[in-house]
Amino acid sequence: MRDTNIEDIELELLLEGIFQRYGYDFRHYSRASIKRRVKHFMAKSGQGKISEVTTLALHDSNFFQQLVEDFSVPVTEMFRDPDVYQALREKVLPRLATYPFIKIWHAGCASGEEVYSLAILLKEEGLYERTTIYATDFNEIVLAKAKQGIYPLADVKRNIENYRRAGGKGSLAEYFDALYDSIIMSKTIKKNITFARHNLAIDQVFGEMNLILCRNVLIYFDKMLQERVLHLFNDSIIRGGFLCLGKKESLQFFEIYEHYKDIDSSSKIYQKKQREQPGSAPL
């Protein structure tokens, strides 16, 4: 048997062990990425074989915490893909403006940069005061970071450039305070955001949302888990509500697509149809 096949078995056992011991379900994550992350972790922490990681992870919960932190390396930035924010501003927010209260779920919010970007967008369009944003992630460590809203000053130049390209109307500096070599998001931007732990792999529906954003999360899941999560979203979005996925993620090949129409195909923004066509099955 080739070494890679043995490694695949070891990886399978590690993920099963983590699930049984800690309830974190990585069993339906894309294998290629998770294998890479495990190997990256091994190189850093000095294990030669995946099964050694399994032994330590099962018996030492501190070791497991380090591992799980590495499993979910958040990589994001403010106004990532500025054109998507531009599209949200022009095509989604005007329709949300017709509601007295707006509920938004940002699923897989990582360290929070994109949540604050959205909050800024809502503020500039005059909708923030009647909006609640639920920002969730399965990883408590990144969630704590998101809640703090403290980011490196070194990234500000790029963030401002993104903000400008996203059609920013004022100055990004209005929304944060500089603090030594960091920026901290201001209270006026934080106040309507609720950060909560939610695991897309195992947890349930989150409420009746006008808009769900989940960008660059589904690419880490296998088809089966993608199906699960999209059903979860479908059950959480009101009729006429919106779903925004990552630019390389698509609803098109999934069952629930028939209940949606394309709002912006490049930004992967979809709207749930107001009512079903006659003759089709109810949701």
Q: How far apart are CA 52 and CA 45, in angstroms?
A: 11
The one-character DSSP state at 30 is: -
- Using CB under 8 A, which of 9, 13, 73, 179 touches another protein? 73
Asked if residue 148 binds another protein (CB under 8 A), the reply is no
Residue of 230, 244, 235 whose CA lies nearest to 283: 235
Point out which span in 48-56, 69-77, 85-93, 236-244 binds another protein (CB under 8 A): 69-77
Among 9, 202, 219, 283, binds another protein (CB under 8 A): 219
Query: Nearer to another protein by C-beta: 31 or 91?
Result: 31
CA distance 161 to 78: 10
DSSP 172-233: GGGGEEEETTEEEE-HHHHTTEEEEE--TTT------EEEEEE-SSGGGB-HHHHHHHHHHH
Under rule CB under 8 A, residue 228 binds another protein? no
Choice from 64, 128, 163, 220 touching another protein (CB under 8 A): 220
Closest Cα partner for 39 from 53, 29, 26?
A: 53
Spell out the residues 6+ positions from residue 3 whose beta carbon is closer than 8 angstroms to its own.
none
Q: Is 171 in the site for another protein (CB under 8 A)?
A: no
Query: In whole angstroms, how close is the CB of 268 to another protein at the nearest point?
Result: 11
- How many residues of this chain bind another protein (CB under 8 A)? 25
* 230 touches another protein by CB under 8 A: no
Give the nearest distance from C-beta 249 to another protein in angstroms. 6
Distance CA 276, CA 283 (A): 8
- For position 132 contacting another protein by CB under 8 A, the verdict is no
* Cβ-contact 224, 218 below 8 angstroms: no
Contact region with another protein (CB under 8 A), list: 47-55, 56-64, 101-109, 247-255:
247-255
Residue 265 found at the interface with another protein (CB under 8 A): no
The dihedrals phi and psi of 214, each to the nearest 5 degrees, come to -150, 95
| Alpha-carbon span 256 to 233, nearest angstrom | 10
**Min dist. Cβ of residue 69 to another protein (A):** 13
Would you call 140 helix, strand, or coil by DSSP?
A: helix
Q: Shortest Cβ distance from residue 154 to another protein (Å)?
A: 15
Residue 91 found at the interface with another protein (CB under 8 A): no
Q: Applying CB under 8 A, does 43 fall inside the site for another protein?
A: no
Among 54, 210, 226, 236, contact with another protein (rule: CB under 8 A): 226
Give me the residues that bind another protein (CB under 8 A), please.
2, 4, 8, 30-33, 35-37, 73, 75-76, 216, 218-220, 222-223, 226, 246-250
